[in-house]
Amino acid sequence: MRNEQPVSTPAGPGQGSAVPARVADAVRRRVKRLYSRHHGRLPFHGWHHVRFVSAKGREFAELNGADAGVVDVAGLVHDLNYLVLRDSQASAGRFLRLNLLAKAGASPQLARRIDGIVCEAEMSSRGRDISLEAQALSDADTLFKAVPITPVLLAHRYLAENRVSLRRLANKIVGDQQRAYDQGFYFYNPTIAARYSEWARANLRLWQCIAESLDDPCVEDLVCAIDPALI
């Protein structure tokens, strides 16, 4: 997939990156401590998710020519909004994100850049032409959603964490993700798209079927019998 954004130099934290190694290390320590303190509140968007997105974001940044150190740190702080407000957008975590980055030693300019990348990569609003760093972060976060084990092992955790119904979750997934899939930028990097798009297609179809099934009164009654909170 062609992208007109300027190419950055691939780099890990402290290796030609805009993020000094000491800052990257401090961010990781602070984020890990924060998630450890709030472990019970974030069964879906917890440290396991953040660590996955950070690691894959760094890998994908090295693939697309972005600043891997910036993407690595952006991955660590991208979901802090869920500590501020349940079922919220990335921008809801801006104050906490900027504050944590500042305490870790990031300059105001770097902190604002990282926050901008996080918000730019937001699934529900991202467009075709976003920065290479946001593309790498988005591809990593989107992959977490598309991994086949996510609906099996983690969907119930999302429902519990955000206190939403099964119907609302299904409609949110399809509503947020189908447009990007249909328009060809569900994944930005063509190598990543070739590797994982079949997973994405299957995941979207699964959630479409779930939404459709809940229109059947017998299915709705069945779900209600299992757990009324899911309706």
Q: Do 133 and 48 touch, CB atoms closer than 8 A?
A: no
From 163, 164, 157, select the one nearest 40 (Cα to Cα).
Answer: 157
Which residues are within 8 A (CB) of 90 and not within 5 positions of it... i.e. 6 or more apart?
A: 78, 79, 81, 118, 119, 121, 122
The values of phi and psi at residue 38, to 5°, are -110, 25
Q: Give the model confidence (pLDDT) of 10-34 as tens digits.
A: 444 445 899 999 999 999 999 999 9
How far is the C-alpha of 112 from the C-alpha of 150, rounded, in Å? 31
Tell me which amino acid residue 176 is: D
Please give the C-alpha separations between residue 91 and each of 125, 146, 219, in angstroms, as whole numbers.
12, 23, 36
Given a contact cutoff of 8 angstroms between Cβ atoms, the answer to whether 42 and 161 are in contact is yes
Dihedral in degrees, nearest 10, Cα atoms 111, 112, 114, 117 = 170
| More confident position, 10 or 111 | 111
Residues 119-144: what's their mean pLDDT?
A: 97
The 10s digit of each residue's pLDDT in 33-78 is 999 999 999 999 999 999 999 999 999 999 999 999 999 999 999 9
**Which amino acid appears at position 203 of this protein?**
N
Query: Which pLDDT score, from 0 to 100, does residue 3 have?
Result: 41
Global confidence as pTM:
0.91
Query: How many beta carbons lie within 10 A of that of residue 217, not counting itself?
Result: 8
Q: Give the separation between CA 65 and CA 7, rounded to whole angstroms.
A: 6
What's phi and psi for 201, nearest 5 deg? Answer: -60, -45
Average pLDDT over residues 146-171: 96
Cα Rg, the chain, nearest whole Å: 18
Terminal Cα distance for the chain, rounded? 40
Q: What domains lie within the chain, and their CATH numbers?
A: 21-230 (1.10.3210)
Q: 207: which 2 tokens?
A: 């959630």
Measuring CA to CA, which residue among 210, 209, 208, 185 is closest to residue 197?
A: 185
- What's the half-sphere exposure (Cβ side, CA atoms, 13 Å) at 214? 16
Q: Which token pair is 157?
A: 């955790």
